[in-house]
Amino acid sequence: MPITAFYTALLAPLFLYLSVRVIGRRREAKVALGPGDDSILLRRMRVHANFAEYVPFTLLSMGLAEGVGVASLVIHIIGVVLVAGRYIHAYGVSQQPENFKLRVTGMTATFTAIALSAIMILVKVLPVVFAL
């Protein structure tokens, strides 16, 4: 799964950056667990958590699509949409005040990547699954 691995590598720096931002704010606010009363920490935690909630499943779906033989170009399209969506979402939600348009754009791109992966997997596996 070299294509999925490539997009994983492109997303890793963003995950690390979001992690470091949470850790840094925890130190500044002296909050060990949860957000405390710090709204900035809460926002940073949610941006990081949102990434952690959506990206692994999407990469798994991409990898499965790649593994069942979906065309490389389609996997690249899914990967580009995912990477763009996650960077746009993280930027939009990190702004004070939040840029809601970028948040929605980022989530729409993420959902598109998930849906495309699922559709492509079904296109490839349904004939095999029901060819009893």
> pLDDT tens digits, residue range 3-55?
999 999 999 999 999 999 999 999 999 999 999 999 999 999 999 999 999 99
pLDDT score for 131: 85
Q: pTM, whole model, 2 decimals?
A: 0.94
Q: What mean pLDDT do residues 86-113 have?
A: 96
* CA distance to 110, 124, 125, per residue, from 130 (Å): 30, 11, 9
Question: Which amino acid is present at 83?
Answer: V
* CA distance to 7, 38, 57, per residue, from 78 (Å): 9, 36, 13
Average pLDDT, whole number, for the chain?
96
